[in-house]
Amino acid sequence: LIIDASGNSSRSIPDTLFGIFFEEINHAGAGGLWSELVSNRGFEAGGPNTPSNIDPWSIIGNESSIIVSTDRSSCFIRNEVALRMEALCDAEDSNICPAGGVGIYNPGYWGMNIEQGKTYKVVLHVRTLESLNLSVSLRSSDGLQDLATANVIGDASDFSNWTKVELMLEAKGTDHKSRLQLTTMRKAVIWFDQVSAMPSDTYNGHGFRKELVSMLADLKPRFIRFPGGCFVEGEWLRNAFRWRETIGPWEERPGHFGDVWKYWTDDGLGYFEFLQLAEDLGALPIWVINNGVSHNDQVHPSTVLPFVQDILDSIEFARGGADSKWGSVRAEMGHPEPFQLTHIAIGNEDCGKKHYLGNYLKFYYAIRDAYPDIKIISNCDGSSRQLDHPADLYDFHIYTSANNMFSMAHQFDRTKRSNSGPKAFVSEYAVTGRDAGRGSFLASLAEAGFLVGLERNSDVVEMASYAPLFVNDNDHRWDPDAIVFNSWQQYGTPSYWVQQFFKESSGATLLPATVHANSSISVVVSAITWQSSESDNYYLRTKIVNFGSNIVNLTISITGLDSNYIKSVGSIKTVLTSSNLMDANSFQEPNKVAPVQSMFENAGTDMVVELSPRSFTALDILL
């Protein structure tokens, strides 16, 4: 391997090369990244008509002691359904009334994580024409153990109009599968709506689950593509993501049924929150919009203009001044400063659909006119032929076997170079199927090879992100994923760890690196120089994927660098390998397949490095 460190042929890697792609799939957001513990908080999940489906809310009591139904009496006009609960018994009627009274409970998303000593903010909207004696409690999964309780008491007149009740509950015990209960010991008719429970310590106080965001922050993502792929399209347009419905006070959001991944979301994690998350991560938001095309229906270009205006409004919401129509809504939500929205992806995997291009052009010219600096991303693949329409970037998605993915390290070697043509946004890639299972070492090794290829081709590839990002272990709609979690634990799959090897690459300098070896050796290599933001140290990092099953002794020569520039101590070797190709991580063994670091002692301008079979190695030489 010869690395040319002279600087003569080096070039800058785009600042945005590696980022993340968040999709509301696998309960990634609802019941995941978004810390809301109550599922179906407004009783809307069955749709706007009553009687409505209140799942997963359940009833405490039986037909002699309680009647629960829904009606449209809510005080919130965009989500009118409320729950009506009629307690038929007083606690004294011990042969009808359960001890502890009657009521309803919400188990959250496969149980709420309640931890001793932590506080939880519970908010509910309540109305009754009678005196109120309501117990609001966090309880163990079987309802037997009380973890925290508050009582809401009032006279007949106190709650005769809808009243917002806010409580801080401190947990005196821990249960990772707890539930929230609303119970009464008195005969009464009580209406409930918009019931929320959130841990009080969320990431930056912005409502995101801390440990999950920390795992994202550890990847140093330069962008976040959101809110999804198919999720944006919908099976039908009526179920597609509509940003307007996801902004403003949480109580007023109608929520929607994502019909591709087949679950309801209350849209607590809405358009504003995605922009906020991007800002918190120091990542550029990449807003994927629906351009009037779903999986099964499409708007004709002649009638798509209202959709175009809708998206222009969304851009004003993100970027407009606090005195603009939509910017003022953002300001009211607590963010008077504009968000830095610079990229819009028009549609997802829709190229070739009947009205995609016609609609695309309407969106393209309207956005370009109003916001000339915004980079626009087309769904059509420009890697092997020139696009027949204007675009700044084109989407490239690849889900394939391990061998194929590894060979695709060379996919963009063949792409025509031009100064003005659109660059590639590899916005979804992953090894899938038998080679990957739920996240194997083999899959990650092949992806490492692919990413090395992207880095080498970063003159024509501007951005790349793995997909999907998250899976709630209770809802594997799509495997594999980068991060697996349940209500209280999380771990990275090997694919997550591979991404860690690239987190210093965005904005770094790429050096020419050429392997001279016989073709039976499956090795791909890239070399960069980068500066640590923590220590200011400069490193020359060589990343080497040995996809073969033999040890490789690699002779590395660094030309154009005086060996005196290499510090005698401080170089580091990081290796990702595993004894079995299908090895995976789990809650029990979260770091079974994870990078291992050691001091790299023989760093120099001429060195021999032994690469284990099936391994990914990074050598950071301290300069």
DSSP per residue, 280-335:
HHT-EEEEEE--SB-SS-B--GGG-HHHHHHHHHHHHHHHS-TTSHHHHHHHHTT-
Out of 439, 468, 492, 494, name the contact with ligand AHR by CB under 6 A: 468
Would you state the structure tokens that stand for residue 368, as one six-digit string? 């370009």
- Cα distance between residue 429 and residue 401, in whole Å: 11
The residue among 227 and 338 lying less far from ligand AHR, judged by its C-beta, is 227
Per-residue x/- mask for ligand AHR, residues 225 to 244, rule CB under 6 A? ---xxx--------------
The residue among 22 and 441 lying less far from ligand AHR, judged by its C-beta, is 22
Q: What is the DSSP letter of 452?
A: H
The three-state secondary structure class of 177 is: strand
DSSP per residue, 122-154:
EEEEEEESS-EEEEEEEE-TTS-SEEEEEEEEE
Report whether 54 contacts 46 (CB < 8 A): yes
The residue among 112 and 260 lying less far from ligand AHR, judged by its C-beta, is 260
Q: Smallest gap, in angstroms, from Cβ of residue 399 to ligand AHR?
A: 7
The residue among 109 and 470 lying less far from ligand AHR, judged by its C-beta, is 470
Residue 467 binds ligand AHR (CB under 6 A): yes
Residue 471 binds ligand AHR (CB under 6 A): no
The three-state secondary structure class of 224 is: strand
Residue 483 binds ligand AHR (CB under 6 A): no
Q: Smallest gap, in angstroms, from Cβ of residue 417 to ligand AHR?
A: 28
Residue 24 binds ligand AHR (CB under 6 A): no
Q: Specify the length of the chain in residues.
A: 623
Residue 23 binds ligand AHR (CB under 6 A): yes
Report whether 66 contacts 58 (CB < 8 A): no
The residue among 25 and 66 lying less far from ligand AHR, judged by its C-beta, is 25
Report the 3 state secondary structure along 354-404: CCHHHHHHHHHHHHHHHCCCCEEEECCCCCCCCCCCCCCEEEEEEEECHHH
Q: Smallest gap, in angstroms, from Cβ of residue 229 to ligand AHR?
A: 2
Chain residues 497-536 in contact with ligand AHR, contact rule CB under 6 A: none
Q: Smallest gap, in angstroms, from Cβ of residue 230 to ligand AHR?
A: 4
By CB under 6 A, how many residues form the interface with ligand AHR? 11
Residue 347 binds ligand AHR (CB under 6 A): no
Q: Smallest gap, in angstroms, from Cβ of residue 318 to ligand AHR?
A: 22
Q: Smallest gap, in angstroms, from Cβ of residue 349 to ligand AHR?
A: 5
Q: Smallest gap, in angstroms, from Cβ of residue 24 to ligand AHR?
A: 9
Report whether 107 contacts 56 (CB < 8 A): yes
Residue 258 binds ligand AHR (CB under 6 A): no
Chain residues 109-138 in contact with ligand AHR, contact rule CB under 6 A: none
- Which residues sit opposite 596 in a β-bridge? 575
Find the part of the chain contacting ligand AHR (CB under 6 A) among 101-109, 224-232, 324-332, 339-347: 224-232
CA angle 279, 283, 288 (to 5 degrees): 95
Find the part of the chain contacting ligand AHR (CB under 6 A) among 59-67, 91-99, 223-231, 517-525: 223-231
Out of 276, 348, 487, 578, name the contact with ligand AHR by CB under 6 A: 348
Per-residue x/- mask for ligand AHR, residues 412 to 451, rule CB under 6 A? ----------------x-----------------------
Q: Smallest gap, in angstroms, from Cβ of residue 15 to ligand AHR?
A: 25
Would you state the structure tokens that stand for residue 2, as one six-digit string? 């010869």
Residue 349 binds ligand AHR (CB under 6 A): yes
Residue 395 binds ligand AHR (CB under 6 A): no
In a 13 Å sphere around the CA of 491, the CA atoms on its Cβ side amount to 17
Q: Among candidates 46, 118, 50, which has minimal Cα distance to 84?
A: 50
Please list, in sequence order, all residues whose beta carbon lies within 8 angstroms of the beta carbon of residue 7, skipping any fewer than 6 positions away: 560
Would you state the structure tokens that stand for residue 180, as one six-digit string? 């929230």
Would you state the structure tokens that stand for residue 316, as one six-digit string? 């004003």
Using CB under 6 A as the criterion, which residues of the chain lie in contact with ligand AHR when the complex forms? 23, 25, 228-230, 348-349, 428, 467-468, 478
